[in-house]
Chains A and B, each alone.
Chain A
Amino acid sequence: AQSVTQPDIHITVSEGASLELRCNYSYGATPYLFWYVQSPGQGLQLLLKYFSGDTLVQGIKGFEAEFKRSQSSFNLRKPSVHWSDAAEYFCAAGGAFGNEKLTFGTGTRLTIIP
C-alpha cells in the first residue's frame, strides 16, 4: 500500500538555525511529491512540489527539498528559520498516473524558540 512517513512528530529549532524535516514514501513508482504547511487556524498551503527533473526543488518562503530515489526520501530544508515558520508541515505523495489521490503524512509540528 502507498504510504508517507514523517518520523518526527515535533521538532524545536532556535530562530536562525537550519532546519531539516524528514519524509519517506513507499510507492510502486516515483510519485509526485509535495510539502504543505499549515499555520495555526489555517488551511494547508503548498510550499513546493516535485514531479520530475532536477532533484533539488525550490519553494516559497526560502524552503527547498531534495528528492533521493535511493532513499525514498523527500526531505524539506531551510538554512535559517524565522519565528513565522512555526507551523505544522505535511509531506504528501501521489501516483504519477491518472487520478491517484494524494497520501499525506501525519505531519511534523515545528516550534521556534528565540
Chain B
Amino acid sequence: ETGVTQTPRHLVMGMTNKKSLKCEQHLGHNAMYWYKQSAKKPLELMFVYNFKEQTENNSVPSRFSPECPNSSHLFLHLHTLQPEDSALYLCASSQDELLTGELFFGEGSRLTVL
C-alpha cells in the first residue's frame, strides 16, 4: 500500500467510448502525475499538477484530458482513443514538484482499446 489508489485497475473500451481513470492520494502531497507505461518503452510523463495547477503537458494528444479538482485527486478523461493508446497508466504523487524526493506510484490502470 503506497498511499496512492487508482481505479479502475482494468478497463476495456472501444474507440468511440468515453471513460475516466481516477487517482487518489492519501499522503498529503502537493504534486500529482500521470505516466504512460508501454511495453519496451521508457515511462512517458504525460501531465503534472502542482497545487492543483497543471504545470506540464508533455505533448499529449487532446483525446487525453486531465483534471485535478484538489491536491488529493487526479482524473484522466479518455475520449475517442486509438488502439495504440492501450497501456498501463500510472498515477504518482510527490511532496512537491521539485525533484527533491521520491515519487509514490499507484498500481496502475491497465487500459485496452479495441
Bits for A89-102, please: 1 = Cβ < 8 Å to B, else 0.
01000111011111
Inter-chain contacts of A105 with B (CB < 8 A): 42
B70-97 interface code vs A (CB 8 A; 1 in, 0 out) = 0000000000000000000010100001
| Given contacts A101-B45, A102-B45, A43 and B98 within 8 Å (CB-CB) | no
Decide: A44 and B45 in contact? CB cutoff 8 A: no
Q: Give B96's nearest chain A residue, CB to CB.
A: A99
A45 near B2: Cβ-Cβ < 8 Å = yes
B2 lies within 8 A of A49 (CB)? no
Report yes or no: A43 in contact with B108, Cβ–Cβ below 8 A: yes
Residue in chain B with minimal CB distance to A93: B99
The interface residues of chain B lying within 8 Å CB-to-CB of A41 are 107
B56 touches A101 (CB 8 A): yes
- Contact flags (1/0) for A3-42 with B, using CB distance below 8 Å? 0100001000000000000000000000010101000011
* B42–A104 touching, CB < 8 Å: yes
A42 contacts which chain B residues (CB < 8 A)? 107-108
Most B CB contacts (10 A, CB to CB) among A42, A95, A105 go to: A42
Shortest A78–chain B CB gap in Å is 19
Residues of B within 8 A of A44 (CB): 90, 92, 103, 105
Chain A residues with CB under 8 Å of chain B are 4, 9, 32, 34, 36, 41-46, 49, 51, 90, 94-96, 98-107
Binding site for A on B (CB under 8 A): 2, 4, 6, 40-43, 45, 48, 55-56, 90, 92, 97-100, 102-108
